[in-house]
Structure 1
Amino acid sequence: MENIITPLMMSLRISIFATLLSFVIGIFLSWWFAFKKNKLTKFLSIIVTIPLVIPPTVLGYYLILLLGRNSFIGQWFEAMTRGPIIFTWKAAVIAAMIASLPLLISPIQAAFESINKDTVDAAELDGSSHFQLLVYIIIPLSYKGILAGLVLGFARAMGEFGATLMVAGNIPGKTQTLSIAIYDAVQANRMADAHLMVIILTSATIFFLYIIHRWFK
């Protein structure tokens, strides 16, 4: 049972941190993409979408180049913490965050764009700053889209496999998530463990989708 509980808890830990980071970044990018449309934001929106269309192993390879011990970020992180970032649970969080970010941004941006522009213009005329607009008007009016983005992002982070395996490895108790543990169980012919973990992961995904369906219904 420990072979299942440990990777499940690791998946939950990584997914929660990844979703929180995605939310902070996603809210800002969604606001920027929705209300500051120009060539730069269109280009960046394409860049953000790339993790949805490239193979996860390719995403993992790019992350190794970005976070590896020979990269600027990797060397800076190692100088600050005296340890590498790759092959740690922190690298798994980054991989899950980047993989889930497009799914989180899409419904939030759509919700932002559905807000009546006159409402935003009126608040700006009354002297509201961008931060006040976001916190007191845009977010409250877009809470359904934000909830959908959070649920989709969390579900995607829970199921992340390829990029996580590339950048964080498969270290039991340290970086092994539920998806990777399923792969391990099949490779070791532990089919009973694999069946149970697949049921847990599938049930969680169906539950998250059910929440979205019921909420919007």
Structure 2
Amino acid sequence: MEFWSPIRISVQVTLVASVAAFIMALIFAWWMARFRFKGKAVMETLLMLPLVLPPTVVGFGLLILMGKQSWIGKTVEWLFHQSIVFTWWAAVIAACVVAFPLMYQTLKTGFQSIDKELEDSARVMGANEWQVFRYITFPIGWRFTLSAYILGFARGIGEFGATLMFAGAIPGKTETIPTAIFMAAESGNMTLATYWVLCIVALSFALLSLTQRFQ
């Protein structure tokens, strides 16, 4: 049970986080690839910032933004009688934040590679933006769309720094595979840490192999 608990938590956390991050990345990537507006470069920089910041900085930012002293944290605590920090949902939020930029960049690059004349032709024929996306953009770009999700999932399941700071490493609750590896190594249980390392390496290898096949 001690071995499987972090794996189960990691998969559950990453499934929820990757779906949330993917929906947001899809919306922002399509919007940023299609429209020009003042301040676009600044906004895109902010969207990509978690990709280059140290994970501990991301975790610290989440603590400031959603901790007990913030208005978000106070609102959540008032509604649910519990703080976000050091909960399962904190792990989901941390994984979502770090997975989002990779998904966003992959999707945006993919959308920009699609021939705009095909989409414009559909608009001329009376299609609205949803129909253009559903019948033109997505069928053409399903490969990069799926690749974006898989890459984001792989990034989310490997998240460590932000998760440790924002969600902690509570056994059976917020202890994911990366945090479990750290705690096992710190306590001198190198055998258990090695098993978890092999597990996450195998999982990451499988996910990246899928991405290569789709590309």
Partners of 1:126 and 1:81 lie apart in 2 by: 50
Q: Cα offset for 1:124? A: 1.8
The equivalent residue for 1:70 is: 69
- Is contact 2:144–2:214 with CA below 8 Å preserved after alignment? no
Runs (4+) off by over 3 Å: none
SS of residue in 2 equivalent to 1:172: coil
Provide the rounded CA distance (Å) in 1 between the counterparts of 2:164 and 2:125: 51
Q: Distance in 2 between matches of 1:67 and 1:28?
A: 24
Q: Which runs of 5+ in 1 are unaligned?
A: none
For 1:169 and 1:103, locate their aligned partners in 2 and report how far apart those are by CA, in whole Å. Answer: 24
Alignment correspondent of 2:4: 5
Post-superposition shift, 1:131? 2.2
Alignment-mate amino acid for residue 181 of structure 1: A
Letter of the 1:92 partner, please give it.
Answer: A
Work out the percentage of aligned pairs sharing the same amino acid.
35
2: CA distance, partners of 1:50 / 1:76: 26
Q: Deviation at 1:74? A: 1.1
Give the conservation status (yes or no) of the 8 Å contact 2:51–2:101: yes
What is the CA deviation profile of residues 141-184 of structure 1, one whole-angstrom value per residue up to 9, with x for unaligned ones? Answer: 11011111011000000000000111111111111101000001
C-alpha distance in 1 between matches for 2:111 and 2:54: 30
Structure 2 unaligned blocks of 5 or more: none
Please report how far the alpha carbon of residue 69 of structure 1 lies from its aligned counterpart in structure 2 after TM superposition.
Answer: 1.3
| Cα contact 2:18–2:96 (8 A) shared by 1 | yes
Q: Which residue of 1 aligns with 2:115?
A: 116
Deviating more after overlay: 125-134 vs 29-38: 125-134
Relative to the length of structure 1, the TM-score reads 0.95
Aligned to 1:35: 34
Task: Give the counterpart letter for 1:145 in structure 2.
Answer: F
Matched, 1:90 2:89: yes
SS in 2 for 1:39: coil
Instruction: Compute the RMSD of aligned alpha carbons.
Output: 1.2
Q: Measure, in 1, the Cα distance between the counterparts of 2:82 and 2:141.
A: 40
CA displacement at 1:128 relative to structure 2: 2.3
Q: Which amino acid aligns with 1:112?
A: F
Query: Are 1:58 and 2:68 matched, yes or no?
Result: no
Once residues 130 and 82 of structure 1 are traced to their aligned partners in structure 2, the CA distance between those partners, rounded to angstroms, is 42
Which deviates more, 87-96 or 123-132? 123-132
